[in-house]
Homo-oligomer: A and B are copies of this chain.
Amino acid sequence: MHSLTDFRALCHRHRLAATHQRQVIYEAATSMIGHPSPEAIYDKVRKKVPSISLATVYKNIRTFLDSGLLQEVSLHHGSLRVESNHAPHHHLVCVRCRSIMDFDEAGLGRLQLRKLPRGFQVKRIAVDILGICRSCSSKGTRGGTRKA
């Protein structure tokens, strides 16, 4: 799907050096089914470039995320957050400071699912409304608060 020259062009567009390691990491990340973790990518990459370092994989995944070449599946992969609100609700998540506010379920129209894969038993639906919270958008355009 992505030839070497495609990858070089992609890197060029994003102002990144087109190294061999980067290409292999990128190919691994995009070709793996599901949503691989850095470790999983490392394992796959190692088969092609046995001398690669895990730190390089991490550094490049971060670089790709920052450039928008890849994304994170979820903003919630930091530390455990505890929820004690038993009422049905969703979350407003600030992409800048990662703060989380509750949002009553009634604030969202009815959700309807179509075309679910066979065999998947739905238990509940969690909606994250991603955006910039008030305190972050008032605090200049760059570099958020990074609070709880």
Contact = CB atoms under 8 A, between A and B. Distances in A.
Interface of A: 29-30, 34-41, 61, 65, 70-74, 76-84, 91-92, 95, 99-101, 103-104, 106-134, 137-138, 148
Contact of A80 (B77, B91, B123, B132): B77
Nearest to A92: B120
Given A100-B35, A126-B130, A132-B123, A61 B84 contact: no
B125 A130 contact: yes
A75 to B, nearest CB: 8
A80 B128 contact: no
A69 to B, nearest CB: 8
